[in-house]
């Protein structure tokens, strides 16, 4: 392990991540809400929602936490004990 933080779900910025969330959750809700109106065609929104959320709603939440904490927290290990410490800016 190289010591680099795992940020595979993080976005470049919080607004970009929130935009992905609006698109993803909106597509998932839209697919279900529009199904009585347009039928099975509304289910075409499901893949868009899944891609925008990078797989699942929990993955999006993990990414939001990573995006917010990126650059503000770091892992510090001393004497076999690791903890999160705030970076002074």
CA distance 58 to 60: 5
pLDDT for residue 1? 47
CA distance 24 to 38: 20
pLDDT for residue 4? 59
Contacts of 85 (CB under 8 A, 6+ apart): 73, 74, 75, 76
CA distance 62 to 9: 7
Q: What are the pLDDT tens digits along the chain (89 aa)?
A: 455 566 777 888 889 999 999 999 999 999 999 999 998 999 999 999 999 998 889 989 988 988 888 767 677 788 888 887 776 54
pTM beyond 0.75: the answer is no
């Amino acid at each position: 392990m190289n010591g680099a933080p795992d940020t595979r779900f993080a976005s470049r910025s919080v607004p970009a991540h929130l935009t992905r969330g609006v698109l993803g959750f909106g597509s998932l809700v839209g697919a279900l809400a529009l199904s009585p109106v347009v039928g099975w065609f509304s289910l075409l929104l499901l893949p868009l929602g899944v891609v925008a959320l990078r797989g699942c709603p929990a993955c999006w939440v993990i990414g939001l936490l990573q995006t917010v904490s990126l650059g503000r927290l770091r892992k510090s290990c001393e004497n076999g004990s690791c903890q999160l410490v705030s970076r002074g800016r």
